[in-house]
Structure 1
Amino acid sequence: MIEAKKSRLFEKAFALYLFSLMRRSFTRFLGQGIQEIPRQPAIFIANHSSWWDGLLFFFLNRTVWKHDIHMMMHEKNLKKYSFFRYLGAFSIDKQNPKDIIRSLQYTEDLLKQGKSVVLFPQGDEYHQEIRPLSFHSGIGYLLDKHPEIPVVPITFYYSFGHEQKPEVWIHQGLSLSIEEIPGTSRKQKSGSLQQFLTTQLDELRQKVIAENTAEFHDFLRKG
């Protein structure tokens, strides 16, 4: 596996580039429920439908959460976009069972060190309309090892509205303790989170279709 090689200097410089890139790429970045998570570490989980997902996590962490955050990323993509290592990305190779174990153990070590971790339990990018989201069981494994760490559910939805450039909508759900996630086994816990995130994504989708922006804040709006 490829370990993270986080650099504060690179993060600071990249943030300036990313914020400018986002303003050039999106009409709006609408967030609902985006708030600080005082308890650290945390496990963030999200649906995965775009190359942008990881960068949006970096943006929100930089502007709101301010955790020492690391992100699990498919090895082939991390090799292609190696700069993600300096933002805290590390790899997993789903085709190699031994590498999966090493990646999960590395994730455990990060959590033990008080660092927060981002997981995309679908494993790969899938079109945002595909259902079910179909989670792998790694999240269940980590919850079994670290039942004290909360799970923060995040959903992304990309849409073309009335402007030339697309917009992105994001919803941050309430943090979940292991007691609030139904099931007794790792597989059952993973399945419950899969259903929970699917429901959250579908609810977000309906708000996008209805253009219901009342509860959303545009993070790209100056000031």
Structure 2
Amino acid sequence: MPGPSPVTLRDARLFAFFHVVFSRHFRRGMGALRVPAWGLPQEHRGRPLIVLANHPSWWDGVAFMLLSARLFPSRHVFIPMAAEALRKYRFMRRLGVFGIEPGARGAAAFLRTATEVLAAPRAMLWMNVPGRFQDVRERPVAIVPGVTRLAEIAPGAIVLPLALDYVFWTESRPEMLAAFGPPIEAAALLALDRDAREEALREALTATMDRLAEEAITRDAARFEVVAEGAEGMGGLYDLWRRARALARGQRFDPRHVRDAKSG
């Protein structure tokens, strides 16, 4: 028998609580969440939204949480996850996460749940389309079965490609980079057969990933908007010593490596 609906299980207060938890975890582990100006999404109010992302890292779940809460604050987010993994984190069902079993029956169940989710007011469906971890440089980008059917169950939806990447620039912590590609009308995808639909989605996501990679190569933080700030500097005793040295010299302490290197 099917389990409870993720629409009824989702708890907005618990989601808000875990947004705080995930934000603190992000600040400890990342430098910043950055989005280039061209990669900021539009809201498309009154339309179901489907976000299709690549899957380079464990951090993708944190990225989904931060991006959805800060760029789509009025939306209710739902995310499919492998049922085996979800059984280890049952509390996540209250955050809008729902399980997917492998095989044809699992794919059919996913489509039933996605139909219900996308019919709910202010709903957003977020998913990593490769269905497995895949390096950002690997081509072609994988697309799991069932993704091409989403346009059929929600022809009025807007599909947003989302590229994610994690890079080390000049600081000790990595940067979380994200960019949304141009919106795609689900109705336009319906005009294609499923094979052509899959290729259209792959091309859109790949183009967004490639453009984000070009931005990452510049290592220029000024080209990005900061969506969430993380920690700066190395932390611990080393930064404590640097802070004390700056205080003794009557200087403002800046934990960033590059700024200190330029200022001597």
* TM-score using structure 2 length: 0.77
- Aligned mates of 1:156, 1:164 — CA distance in 2: 20
State which drifts further: 79-88 or 177-186. 177-186
The amino acid of 1:133's aligned partner reads V
Identity %: 24
1:116–1:201: structure 2 CA closer, same or farther, 3 Å change rule? Answer: same
Give CA-to-partner distance per residue, 1:92-117, whole Å, 9 cap, x none.
122x3112101111111111123221
Q: What corresponds to 1:10 in structure 2? A: 14
The amino acid of 1:146's aligned partner reads A
Q: What corresponds to 2:221 in structure 1? A: 213
Match of 1:85 among 89, 93, 108: 93
Q: What corresponds to 2:163 in structure 1? A: 155
Q: Which runs of 5+ in 1 are unaligned?
A: none
Residues 57-68 of structure 1: pairs in structure 2 closer than 5 A: 57-66=64-73, 67-68=75-76
The amino acid of 1:137's aligned partner reads P
Q: What corresponds to 1:177 in structure 2? A: 185
Mapped contact 1:150–1:176 kept (Cα < 8 A): yes
Give CA-to-partner distance per residue, 1:92-146, whole Å, 9 cap, x none.
122x311210111111111112322112221112222211112123121110222
Q: Which runs of 5+ in 2 are unaligned?
A: 231-264
Residues 35-184 of structure 1: pairs in structure 2 closer than 5 A: 35-39=41-45, 40-66=47-73, 67-94=75-102, 96-114=103-121, 115-178=123-186, 180-181=188-189, 184=192
- Aligned mates of 1:14, 1:146 — CA distance in 2: 29
Whether 2:40 is the aligned partner of 1:34: answer yes
- Aligned mates of 1:193, 1:173 — CA distance in 2: 11
Larger Rg: 2
Q: How many residues align?
A: 221
Per the TM alignment, residue 42 of structure 1 is displaced from its structure 2 partner at its CA by 0.6
Whether 2:176 is the aligned partner of 1:192: answer no
Match of 1:25 among 25, 29, 32: 29
Mapped contact 2:148–2:194 kept (Cα < 8 A): yes
Of Structure 1 and Structure 2, the greater helix share is in: 2
The amino acid of 1:43's aligned partner reads I
- Aligned mates of 1:8, 1:25 — CA distance in 2: 25
* TM-score using structure 1 length: 0.90
